[in-house]
Structure 1
Amino acid sequence: MARYHIETYGCTSNRGESREIERRLRDAGHHRTDLAEADVAILNTCTVVEKTERNMLRRAEELEAEVADLIVTGCMALAQGEEFADIDAQVLHWEEVPTAVTNGECPTTTPDAEPILDGEIGILPIARGCMSNCSYCITKFATGRIDSPPVEANVEKARALVHAGASEIRVTGQDTGVYGWDEGERKLPELLDRICAIDGDFRVRLGMANPGGIHGIHEELVEVFADNEKLYNFIHLPVQSGSDDVLEEMRRQHRVGKFREIVETFDDRLDHWTLSTDFIVGFPTETDADHEQSMELLREVRPEKINVTRFSKRPGTDAADMKGLGGQTKKDRSKAMSELKMDVVGEAYGSMVGERHEVLVVEEGTGDSVKCRDGAYRQLIVQHAGEHGVEPGDFLTVEVTGAQSVYAFATPVSTPESDEDLAIAD
C-alpha cells in the first residue's frame, strides 16, 4: 500500500477530480500523508494563464526532488503534457492516477469487507486476500490469503444494495477470480449468476481478476457473461508483462499463453466486450527485448482500457532488493507504452462514432454532464444532461457523436421521459 501526497490547483472541477482520486485511493487501501513521508506525489495542475503554467512547472520540479515517484494530472498535463518532458514524472489523465499509484498491486478492500452505496454505485467486496505471492506487491502483507464468505452471504449483500437504490453493482476484491479457492472450489461464475438473478433493473461490473485465477474457469465464466444482460461484458485481466521471463521474476501465476487463451475465449463467445489490462514497465529484470514483447502483445491484443505503471520499489518486498533500472530507462519505456496505449484506446473509441448504444447513467460528470456506461462498460459522456432530463440511474439510448482518447461523447436519442410517453401511448 502506498502513502500519497496530493496537491490541487485551479477550478472546482479540478478539486472534484482530486476528491475522486482520493476516494479511489482510500478504497484501495492507500493513505494520504505529508510530502516528507510520501511514496508518491500527485500534482493536479491548472493552465489558465502563462504565469500559472510557470508555477506548475516549478512546483513539479520541486516535487520531483522530494519524492521517488511523481504523477502530474489535470488541465496542463492533458493540454500541454510535453512541457513536463524534462521532469521525471508520469503525465496521466486523472482517471488513470489511482491505478498508477498502486504499482501493479492488488486493491485492498475495507477491513470489514462490507458493501458501500456511493450514489447509484454499490461497492460489493466479495472476499479479502488473494492466492498470489507477487514479488513486487506489499498488499499481501496486509490482507493475507483468500478468505471467501459463502455465496449466499454475498448475494444477500448485493440484494441489499439493489434495494437501497444501486443501479450498478461493482464486484470487487484483491483477485475476484480466486473467490472460493479457500473452500476448495472457485465459485465466481455461480456468484455472478445469482447476483444477476436478483429482481431489479441494474448492472453488474466484475472487478480485477488475475489471469492465473481466471484460467481454468474462463470457459464457464464467459458463458455467464453471454447469458446475463445485467453483467457488463467487461473483464479487468492484468497481464503486467508480455515476457514470460519477467512474469517469472514477478512470481505471477500465469504466463502470456494463459492470458491469450482467456482473451481468445472471450473473443470467440462475445460479440462486443471490453478487455482492461495492466502493464508494469521498468521491472528490475526487464530487458529491452522483454519490453518489446510487452509492446508487441499490446499491439496484437489491443485492449480497450490499459493501465501503464512505472515500477517503483515497495519496502519489504523481494523486488525491492533487486538492482533497479535507471530512472531514464523506466521513463522512456513508460512514455513509449503510454503513447502506444493512447493510439490503441483512441482507435477503439473512435470506431464507435455513429453507433447507437443502450447505456446506464452511472454518475455526474463535470459541469452539466453525466457519465454513462454501455453494455461493454465503455465510458460515454452526455453533455447538457439537464436539458435532456437525464440523471444518474437512468437507462437510455444514445448516439455516439465524437471521441476522445479514453471516452466518447454521445447524445440521447431516447430519454427517460420519451420512453415513459411511449409506454403510455402503447
Structure 2
Amino acid sequence: MARYHIETYGCTSNRGESRQIERRLRDAGHHRVEGPDEADVAILNTCTVVEKTERNMLRRAEELEAETADLIVTGCMALAQGEQFQQAEVDADVLHWEEVPEAVTNGECPTTTPDADPVLDGVIGILPIARGCMSDCSYCITKQATGKIDSPPVEENVEKARALVHAGAKEIRITGQDTGVYGWDDGERKLHELLDRICDIEGDFRVRVGMANPKGVHGIREELAEVFAENEKLYNFIHAPVQSGSDDVLGDMRRQHQVSEYVEIVETFDEYLDYWTLSTDFIVGFPTETEEDHARSMALLGETRPEKINVTRFSKRPGTDAADMKGLGGQVKKDRSKAMTDLKMDVVADAYDSMVGETHEVLVVEEGTGDSVKCYDEAYRQVIVQNAPDRGVEVGDFVDVEITGHSTVYAFGEPV
C-alpha cells in the first residue's frame, strides 16, 4: 500500500477530480500523508490559466520531484502542455487524472476494506467479492496486509449484488485483490458461476469485472468467455495485468503466469467476443529487466493491443524481496516508460478512432466536466456526452449514441 501526497490547483473541476482520485486510492487501501517528504508518491493536479500559473506549476513540480520518491502530474496543464514538464527535465509521469489511481499502485493488487462490504456511490455499486489473493509477487506489499484468498459463498455475493440493484445501482463493479481466483480457497474457481448468477438478477444494470491476474483466468478462460458471450449485462471487459513481456522477468517478479498464458486468454476472448476491451498493466524498469526484456514487453503490447493500459515505473516497496534487488537507474526507467507510454497512446487512440461513425448503447454513470456526462459502452469504453441537460440525458440512463470523435482515451457521442 502506498502513502500519497496530493496538491490541487485551479478550479472546482480540478478539485472534484482530485476528490475522485483520492476516493479510488482509499478504496485500494492507500493512505494520504500531509507532506511529500513522507510520501511514496506525490500527485500534482495542475492548472494552466495564464503563463504565470504555468511557471508556478513547473516550479512546484521541480520542488516535489526533489522531495518525494515518485511524482505524478495531472490536470489541465498536464493534458494541454505536458511536454513542458519534459522540456524542464522534470522526472514525472504526466497522466490523465483517471489514470492516476492505477499508476500509484506500482502494479500491486487493490486492497479492499477489511469487512468487504458493498458500497453504493451514485449509481455505481462496488462489490468486493473476496479478500486476499493466491500470488506472492516479489514487488508487492499488499499481500502483507491481506493474506491468502478468502472467498464468501456465491450465494452471499449474489445477495449483496441484489441489494445493490434494489438500492438503485445501475453498474456493479466486481472488485478484489484478484477476482480470477475467487473460490480457489474452496478448491474450485467460481468467478464464471458468480457472474452468471449476478446477471440473473432482475433489473436493468451492467456488471464490470475488476482485476484478475492471468494465472487465475487462464484455467477458466473458456468458461469465462462463454459467460461473457451469453450475458448482455456483463461489460465485455477484462483487466488481466501481464506486467512484462519477458518470462524471465515474470519469474523474477514471481507472477506465476507466463506470457503464452496471457496470449491464450486474449485469443480465447477474441474467439468468443466480436467487440471487447482488454485492459492490462506493465511495470517498466524492474531491477532485472534488460533492454531485450523491455523490447519483448513493447512487442507484446503491439501484438495484443489492449485498449486500456497502465504503465508504471518500478519503485521499491519496503519489506518486499524486490526492494533488496539492485535497481536500474532513474533515467533508464524514465526512457523505457516514455517509449511504452508513447506506444500505448497510439494503440489506445487507434481503438477509439475505430469507433467513430458507429452507434453504441451506453450507460451514463456519472457527471463529467461542465454539462457533460461520462458513459460506458458495452465493452466498457468511455464515451463523453456533452450538453447533457439540454439533451435530457441523466446519470443512470441507457442511451444510444453515435460516436462522432475521440480524445485518445475516450470517445465523444451524440444521442440518436
The list of structure 1 runs, each at least 4 consecutive aligned residues, that deviate by more than 2 angstroms after superposition, is none
| Match in the other structure for 2:61 | 60
Mapped to 2, the partners of 1:61 and 1:203 lie a distance apart of 43
Q: Which amino acid aligns with 2:185?
A: D
Query: Residues 53-202 of structure 1 correspond to what in structure 2 (within 5 A)?
Result: 53-85=54-86, 86-202=89-205
Structure 1 residue 255 displacement after superposition: 0.5
Residue of structure 1 equivalent to 2:38: 37
Q: Which residue of 1 aligns with 2:24?
A: 24
Tell me which residue corresponds to 2:334. 331
Amino acid corresponding to residue 256 of structure 1 in structure 2: V
Partner SS state of residue 247, structure 1: helix
Deviation at 1:234, TM superposition (A): 0.3
Per the normalisation by structure 1, the TM-score is 0.97
* Structure 1 CA distance for aligned equivalents of residues 116 and 316 of structure 2: 27
Q: Which residue identity lines up with residue 140 of structure 2 in the other structure?
A: C
- Cα deviation, 1:86-108, whole Å, max 9, x if unaligned, reads 01111111000000000000000
Which amino acid counterpart does residue 32 of structure 2 have in structure 1?
R
1:345 aligns with 2:345: no
Kindly provide the CA deviation profile for residues 29-62 of structure 1, in whole angstroms up to 9, marking residues without a partner as x: 0000022211100000011111000000000000
Give the percent of matched residue pairs that are identical in Structure 1 and Structure 2. Answer: 83
Describe the SS at the equivalent of 2:150. coil
| Equivalent residue number for residue 50 of structure 1 | 51
Q: Is residue 299 of structure 1 aligned with residue 302 of structure 2?
A: yes
- Paired AA for residue 342 in structure 1: M
CA distance in 1, matches of 2:40, 2:219: 37
C-alpha separation in 1, matches of 2:213 and 2:370: 36
How many residues are treated as equivalent by the alignment? 413
Q: 1:263 aligns with which of 260, 266, 272?
A: 266
Deviations 1:212-247 (A, max 9, x none): 011110001100000000000000010000000000
Q: What is the Cα deviation at residue 205 of structure 1?
A: 0.4
Counterpart in the other structure of 1:211: 214
Is residue 2:401 matched to residue 1:411?
no
Cα distance, 1:206 vs structure 2 = 0.4
Q: Which runs of 5+ in 2 are unaligned?
A: none
Q: 2: CA distance between counterparts of 1:402 and 1:11?
A: 26
Q: How many angstroms apart in 2 are the aligned matches of 1:42 and 1:359? A: 31
Once residues 105 and 245 of structure 2 are traced to their aligned partners in structure 1, the CA distance between those partners, rounded to angstroms, is: 19
- How far residue 210 of structure 1 moved from its aligned partner, in angstroms, is 0.2
Q: CA deviation at 1:302?
A: 0.5
**TM-score, normalising length from structure 2?**
0.99
Mapped to 1, the partners of 2:144 and 2:261 lie a distance apart of 27
- Inter-partner Cα distance in structure 1 for 2:49 and 2:314: 32
Per-residue Cα deviation, 1:145-166 (whole angstroms, up to 9, x for no partner): 0000000000000000000000
**2: distance between equivalents of 1:81 and 1:204?**
34
Counterpart for residue 420 of structure 1:
none
- SS state of the match for residue 347, structure 1? helix
| AA partner of residue 238 (structure 1) | P
2:384 is matched with: 381
Q: CA RMSD in A?
A: 0.5
Tell me the distance in 1 between the aligned counterparts of 2:317 and 2:407: 34
